[in-house]
Structure 1
Amino acid sequence: MSDQPILRSARSHKLSTIARHGRLKHSNPVVTVVKFLAAAMAVVLVSGVSVAAIATLDVASSAQPGVHLANETNGPVPQIGAITGGVNLLIVGSDSRKGQDAAFGPDDSTGDLNDVTMLLHISQDHTNASVISFPRDMFVPIPACPDPSGGTFNSMSRQKINTTLTYGGLACTVLTVEKLTGLTIPFAAEVQFSGVMAMSTAVGGVPVCVAEEIQDEYTGTFLKPGMHTLEGVAALQFLRTRHGVGDGSDLTRINNQQVFMSALVRTIKSASTLSDPIKVYSLAKAVTANMKLSDSLNNVSVIASIAVALKDIDLNEVVFVQVPTGGTTGGVLPLQPDFKDLFTAVAADKALKLGGTTGRGATLDPSATAPPAPAATTDASAPPAPTASAGATPTPTPTDAATLSESATGQTAGELTCSVGRTLNNQ
C-alpha cells in the first residue's frame, strides 16, 4: 500500500496503471463507503417527501450513461412502489480521481480500482437487508470479462478483487462477485470520491463517534475522542483513513466504514432528513450525478422502487457484514467454510444474525443506553403467563434466520458504535 502524506507532492500519489495480464498496481484505497448509499440512500429517494421532487427533469438529466451487465435483460420500468421480490445490488467505490474535486489536484489520479466492493441484499419480503463488504486485498478468480471496447478479456485464476474494475469495468466486477458467491446480481453502481462528499453534505453531515483518538497524516484525519459531524472532504478522508484506525489494515478500515455507514443510514431515515424536501432533492441529485449505474438501475423509478422496499426496514434488521477471511502472503483469502455458509444463507434469503464482534476497528458506544424493558403488568384481571408443561413440544427456532460464524464481523444500523483510532506513536 502506498498511501502518501497529504503534504507531499501530488506526483507522489500517482500510481501506475494495471496491465490487463501483467503486474497489478498498488492503490490509494478509496474508502468510498460508497454506497450502500445507492440503496440506503434510496431510503430517502422515496421517503415521506414527494417522489415528484426527486423525479424532476433536473435530477433525471444529471444521470450518467448506463453500464450494460453481462447477464442483464431489459424489463418493464416499475411503477412507483416497492420493487417485487428481493434485490441484489453491487456497489463499488472507484479510486479514480479524474474530474474529481480540486482538493486532490488536477493531476492526482489513479487507474480505476474498486477499493470498496459491497453487496446490498434486500429480502424477498422486505423485512431485512444486509450490506456485505469484500476486502480490497482479497484474492479471487476473475472470470472472462467483456472488454468495454469490444472483445473479451481472458480469465485469471487469482488476482485481488479490487483490480476487476480496471480490468473490465463495472460489469467485470459484477461477474467476479457472482462467480465468487453463486448469486445473481442484476443491479450495480459505481461511485467516485465526489459522490461520497456530495451525499454526506446533502444530509447536513454524518455524526460519527470516535472512541480512541485518530491520527492519520496520510489523509489528514485528526479526530479527538467524542462525536464529530463530518461532511464533504472531511467525511471522505474519514472513510479513507487506514493508518489511523484499528491495526492499520484494510480489514479494520472496513469496521470504521461500517461505523460511518450505520450513522449515515440513521441520519437518512431520521425525521429531520425525510421531512426536508431540499435534503431529499439534494440526495437524489448527488446519486444521479455521481454514480455510474448499470442499465437496469439507470432509471429514477427503479431506484425509487428499491427505496420503497428499504424505507420501512427496522434499523436492527439492516446488518453490515465483513466476509470471513484468512491471511495469506500479500493479502487475504475467503475463509472456508464460513465464507460459503454466509452466501448460502443469503441465497436462501435468510435474515443474517451476527455471531462475531464489531471487529478491531470499531467498538460499541459505551455511552449508548439500551431501551427500557417492558414494564411488568399489575393488572390482576390479566391472564397468567403460559408455562411449559411436562412433555410439551418446545417452540421451534425460526428457520428464516442464520447466525453467522464469529469470523464474520460487523454490526447493525441500529447499534451505536465508535471508531477505534490509533495515534502516530503506534504506527
Structure 2
Amino acid sequence: MPSARRTPGRGRVTLARHGVLQTRHPLVSILAMLGVVLGVVAVSATGITAYNVWAAAQTVVDNAVVLDADKPLPPSLDAIEGGVNLLMVGTDSCEGENAKLSTACMAGDTDGERNDVTMLVHISDEPRRVTVVSFPRDMLEPIPSCPKEDGSGNYSAMASQKLNVSYSYGGLTCTVMTIEAITKQEIDFAAAIRWSGVIAMSDAIGGVDVCIGEGGISDPEHTGLTLSEGEHTLQGWEALQFLRIRHGIGNGSDLGRISNQQQFMSSMVRKLQSDAVLADPARLLTLATTAIGQMQKGELKLSSGLANPTLMVQIAMAVKNVPFEDIVFVQYPTRYSDDALRVYPVTEAADQLFAALEANEPLTLTGDPSQGGGVEVTGEVVQPEPTTEATPTPGASPGTDATTDPQQRVELPSDIAGQTADQTTCTVREGK
C-alpha cells in the first residue's frame, strides 16, 4: 500500500505524492471523468452493484488497494472523511484512434501534447459542497522545475509560459505541480481521459442535454459541429465536439469554450442526480462497466490512489446529495493581454475564492456566466429528492442545507465567471 501523510488542518490521511502521480499517458477532457466519479458514487447506492464494480476494477487496476488478498471484501458505503482535491487534465493528443477526431491532427498541424483542459475539483468536508475551477489554457504562469518522464533529471523552471505547456514538460506530474503553485492547494488525486473515452462515457450516460441560443452554432472548419437553435441531447462524437468547440461561440476564445463545458457539466450533474439515472440500475451498471472498459483500453487513467475502488465509492458518496446551488463551476479569474492572444491571472480575486473554499463557505456568484461570452443564463432547475433517507429540518426544502444561513454566503468578486448546477444556460453563437 502506498505510504500516507497527514494533511495539516484537514483532518484526514492522504496518499503520498509518489503514490498519486503515476499516470503519464495522453489525456483529453475532464468532463467525462466527473461523470465517472458521480456515476460510481450513484452505483454505490446498491450494495450488489457496488461489489460487482469493485471486484471488476480490482482486475484492471495494478495499484488498487487490496484489503484482503485471500478474501476480497466489498467497499464501505460511507462517505470519505474530510475534503478532497482532484485535478483532471485533458490534452490535445493525436495518438491512435483519437487522431481522426481532430482536423488539426489529421492535417498534421499540431505538435507535442498539451493540457488544453485543466480543472480542479474541490469537494469540501461537511457540509458537502463541490467547486470545479477551470484554468484557461492560455493563462501566463510560471512553470516549476518538473521531473522528466524518464527519470533522468528535471526540466528547467520557466518564469512565464502558457499554462497548457506544463504537460509538455513532465506530463501530468508537472501540471499538478503547476496548479498547486498557482492555487497553494494540495492536490490529492489526478485523472485523465482521452477523446475516445469521452465518447464512450457520454454514450454510457445516455447523452447530455444542452441548449443552443438564437441562430444556432456552426464550426465546419475545426470541429465540424453544427447545431440548430434549441435543445439537443448530445452523446458520442457530437458530445465530444461540443466540449471542444470555441470557433463559432462567444468571442471565439478558450474562455468561451470553458463556459460551454460548464453548461455541459452542469447538465450532466443534474442528470446523474435525477431519477433518469439513479433509478435505473442497468444504466448505472453500464456506466461503471464502461469506465472499467476504458481503463482496460488505456483511454481512462486514474492516479494510483484514486484507482482504489473503495475510495472511488467513498468520494462519490460524499457528493451524491450536494444541493445544486452548492455545485459551482467557475473560471479562474483572468484579464486579457493587449493583443488578446493570452490572459493574465487576477490573483486578488482568485485568493478570495480559495480562501472561501478553505473555510468551506457557501458561494454566491456575482459575475457573468462567461468571461468569453460563451453562454447566457436562461433559468433555474429544482433539486430532485435526495437519493438516501435523511431527517428533514422543518421548513427546509429537499436537498438543501438547512444549517446554512443564506445571509452568510460569500459573494465572489465579479471577476470570477461561472454558473451553479441549479442554473440553466444556453450557448451563444459568435458575434451575437
TM-score range, shorter chain: 0.7 to 0.9
- TM-score with structure 2 setting the length: 0.76
Match of 1:69 in 2: none
Matched, 1:81 2:81: no
Q: Distance in 1 between matches of 2:381 and 2:422?
A: 12
Structure ranking higher in helix proportion: 2
Q: Distance in 2 between matches of 1:121 and 1:257?
A: 17
Q: CA deviation at 1:194?
A: 1.5
Matched, 1:335 2:346: yes
What one-letter code is carried by the residue in structure 2 that aligns with 1:147? K
SS at match of 1:416: strand
Match of 2:165 in 1: 163
Q: CA deviation at 1:267?
A: 1.3
Question: Is contact 1:193–1:236 with CA below 8 Å preserved after alignment?
Answer: yes
Q: Percent identity?
A: 41
Q: CA deviation at 1:112?
A: 2.0
| 187 and 78 in structure 1: CA distance in 2 versus 1, 3 angstrom threshold | farther
Match of 2:201 in 1: 199
Counterparts of 1:18-167 in structure 2, within 5 Å, are 33-48=31-46, 50-57=49-56, 59-63=57-61, 79-101=76-98, 103-104=100-101, 108=106, 111-150=112-151, 151-167=153-169
What one-letter code is carried by the residue in structure 1 that aligns with 2:115? N
Question: Is contact 2:249–2:257 with CA below 8 Å preserved after alignment?
Answer: yes
Q: CA deviation at 1:102?
A: 7.1
SS at match of 1:256: helix
Q: Distance in 2 between matches of 1:353 and 1:204?
A: 31
Q: Distance in 1 between matches of 2:310 and 2:326?
A: 25
Of 278-287 and 215-224, the range deviating more from structure 2: 278-287
| 62 and 233 in structure 1: CA distance in 2 versus 1, 3 angstrom threshold | farther
Q: Distance in 2 between matches of 1:160 and 1:181?
A: 16
| 325 and 54 in structure 1: CA distance in 2 versus 1, 3 angstrom threshold | same
Match of 1:404 in 2: 412
SS at match of 2:125: coil
Counterparts of 1:356-395 in structure 2, within 5 Å, are 356-359=367-370, 360-365=373-378
| 403 and 78 in structure 1: CA distance in 2 versus 1, 3 angstrom threshold | farther
Q: Which runs of 5+ in 2 are unaligned?
A: 1-26, 65-73, 384-403
What one-letter code is carried by the residue in structure 2 that aligns with 1:221? L
Q: Which runs of 5+ in 1 are unaligned?
A: 1-28, 67-76, 372-395
Q: Distance in 2 between matches of 1:295 and 1:418?
A: 37
Number of residue-to-residue matches in the alignment: 360
Match of 2:423 in 1: 415
| Structure number, greater radius of gyration | 1
Question: Is contact 2:381–2:424 with CA below 8 Å preserved after alignment?
Answer: no
CA RMSD in angstroms comes to: 2.8
> For each residue in 1:33-85, what CA deviation from the matched residue of structure 2 results, as whole angstroms up to 9, or x when unmatched?
3543353444434245731232232x44344779xxxxxxxxxx973321111
Q: CA deviation at 1:370?
A: 7.7
SS at match of 2:94: coil
Q: Distance in 2 between matches of 1:105 and 1:127?
A: 38
| 79 and 336 in structure 1: CA distance in 2 versus 1, 3 angstrom threshold | same
Match of 2:386 in 1: none
Of 86-95 and 329-338, the range deviating more from structure 2: 329-338
SS at match of 1:344: helix
Q: Distance in 1 between matches of 2:326 and 2:46?
A: 20
What one-letter code is carried by the residue in structure 2 that aligns with 1:56? A
> For each residue in 1:118-147, what CA deviation from the matched residue of structure 2 results, as whole angstroms up to 9, or x when unmatched?
111111104211111000111111112122
Q: CA deviation at 1:333?
A: 1.1
